């Protein structure tokens, strides 16, 4: 079918990132897992640059998938996990170890390009899994921020990357 062919094209385009190369038997872990872990550990622009660039390429590949095949793509575990895990990572990197003191600190070291990635991920997740899944996920993120239990929901929302106005970045 059309969607089977599209999934093959998508998977081929993501070999070396979401998927290991079949001919490289020594490669056990997909690069996506290695790079997201490196980004978490470094917590810096340099340590996350390659990961963010590869996620942007993944989103470009997703846009090449016809709308009628998005349901099929949404069922691909590696794809689903990469999207949700990256949003969680961006939210955690922006928040930091404690609540941001001011609105201006709410993005931490993230750049406008990183916010654009966040917004593209948000849009893609809402298209693929629905707005209610997105809303539930962001509520879970806000509940689990360090120091969030001492704040009301409105304060958490205002200090979180989740409240960014994505119309400025898409």
C-alpha separations of 10 from 19, 23, 59, 77, 109 in Å:
11, 18, 11, 13, 32
Give the model's confidence band at 24: pLDDT under 50 very low, under 70 low, under 90 confident, else very high.
confident
Which pLDDT tens digit goes with each residue over 111-146? 999 999 999 999 999 999 999 999 999 999 999 999
Give residue 25's pLDDT. Answer: 74
**Segment 20-30 mean pLDDT:** 81
3-class secondary-structure state, position 125: helix
Of 131, 168, 127, 163, nearest to 145 by C-alpha is 163
Give residue 38's pLDDT. Answer: 97
Which pLDDT tens digit goes with each residue over 38-61? 999 999 999 999 999 999 999 999
Which pLDDT tens digit goes with each residue over 62-120? 999 999 999 999 999 999 999 999 999 999 999 999 999 887 889 999 999 999 999 99
- Run of H or E including 107: none
Give residue 94's pLDDT. Answer: 97
Q: Is the whole model's pTM more than 0.85, yes or no? A: yes
Beta partners for residue 19, in sequence order: 15
Give the model's confidence band at 157: pLDDT under 50 very low, under 70 low, under 90 confident, else very high.
very high
Is the pLDDT confidence value at 170 over 80?
Answer: no
In whole angstroms, give the CA distance from residue 4 to residue 10: 10
C-alpha separations of 146 from 6, 40, 44, 88 in Å:
41, 15, 19, 13
Give residue 21's pLDDT. Answer: 80
């Amino acid at each position: 079918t059309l969607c089977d062919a599209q999934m093959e094209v998508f998977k081929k385009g993501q070999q070396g990132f979401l998927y290991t190369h079949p001919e490289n038997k020594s490669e056990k872990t997909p690069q996506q897992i290695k790079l997201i872990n490196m980004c978490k550990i470094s917590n810096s622009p340099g340590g996350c640059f390659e990961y963010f660039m590869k996620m942007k390429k993944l989103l470009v590949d997703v846009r090449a998938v016809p709308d009628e095949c998005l349901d099929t793509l949404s069922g691909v575990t590696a794809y689903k996990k990469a999207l949700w895990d990256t949003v969680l990572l961006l939210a955690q990197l922006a928040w930091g170890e404690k609540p941001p003191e001011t609105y201006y600190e709410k993005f931490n070291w993230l750049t406008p390009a990183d916010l654009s990635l966040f917004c593209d991920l948000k849009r893609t997740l809402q298209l693929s899994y629905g707005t209610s899944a997105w809303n539930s996920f962001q509520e879970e993120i806000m509940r689990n921020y360090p120091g969030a239990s001492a704040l009301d929901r409105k304060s958490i929302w205002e200090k979180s990357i989740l409240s960014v106005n994505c119309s400025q970045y898409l």
